[in-house]
Copies of this chain bind each other. A is one copy, B any other.
């Protein structure tokens, strides 16, 4: 592993917490000011870091552009998108697409519902991993030891009284999700919002993404939402078929 690059990259999460001046960066990195300066300059040249008027550094614009381009080039997303739109038109609720990567689950696409629901989700934002339907679907498919390892090291914030309380409950839920092939989040994240989700599988049968439909229970009750499950699953399966076909098998 390259030391120089390692140090340079360590600056990014540091600046993510807020702007910092040269001295602060050098201190936190444990290197000389001049070293920090050169690293920052290089980051700056690549647009990853921006220098504001008060000379302090903060993360730069190119970072967004990169994240943006990256998400738009994900092939699952590309294939799934039209299906999400169609589903959204059919049922009117907000539709999400998410993937798992390195112990995190994050939204990579979203189609807003026509009901005025303000869900706090955003593309690129890490998902509430212990409660979200998509997170359950993605984690349920991991090999057992990995699933267990992740479950153990997670926090279990009680967003509501129906949030998953601890690792044991979570693993049990994951097992159920794995068996039934779909997942729900009934008020586990936001008291008034329910979700149902289904997995998208690649050629090898592994879950590569998950999609979900979210609706506030002032519009549809949880039971009514569950009646949409077959439609959601059919959509997810359609995406799976298309995705499996288009990818060179490995």
| A53 on the B face (CB < 8 A) | yes
* Contact in complex: B63, A70 (CB < 8 Å): yes
* Contact in complex: B123, A61 (CB < 8 Å): no
Known: A5-B8, A65-B106. 15 other contacts (CB 8 A): A1-B45, A2-B8, A5-B5, A5-B39, A15-B70, A16-B65, A16-B66, A53-B250, A61-B101, A63-B66, A64-B67, A66-B67, A67-B67, A68-B124, A112-B112
From residue 89 to 146 of chain A, which have CB atoms closer than 8 A to chain B? 101-102, 104, 106, 112, 114, 116, 122-126
Q: How many residues of A contact B (CB 8 A)?
A: 56
* Contact in complex: B47, A124 (CB < 8 Å): no
Chain B min CB distance to A85 (Å): 9
A102 to B126: give the CA distance in the assembly, Å.
28
| A59 on the B face (CB < 8 A) | yes
List residues of chain B with CB within 8 A of the CB of A179. none
**With contacts A46-B9, A60-B102, A250-B54 known, is A2 near B66, CB below 8 A?**
no
Provide a sorted-by-A list of 7 A–B residue pairs whose CB atoms are within 8 angstroms: A1-B45, A5-B43, A6-B42, A17-B73, A59-B66, A61-B101, A61-B106
A16 to B248: give the CA distance in the assembly, Å.
21
Q: Which of B45, B50, B124 contacts A101 (CB 8 A)?
A: B50
List residues of chain B with CB within 8 A of the CB of A38. 1-2
* Contact in complex: B250, A17 (CB < 8 Å): no
List residues of chain B with CB within 8 A of the CB of A53. 250
List residues of chain B with CB within 8 A of the CB of A104. 61, 65
| A12 on the B face (CB < 8 A) | yes
| A148 on the B face (CB < 8 A) | no
Chain B min CB distance to A200 (Å): 15
A120 to B126: give the CA distance in the assembly, Å.
22
| A41 on the B face (CB < 8 A) | yes
* Contact in complex: A66, B18 (CB < 8 Å): no
Residue of B nearest to A58 (CB): B70
| A223 on the B face (CB < 8 A) | no
Residue of B nearest to A64 (CB): B124
| A205 on the B face (CB < 8 A) | no
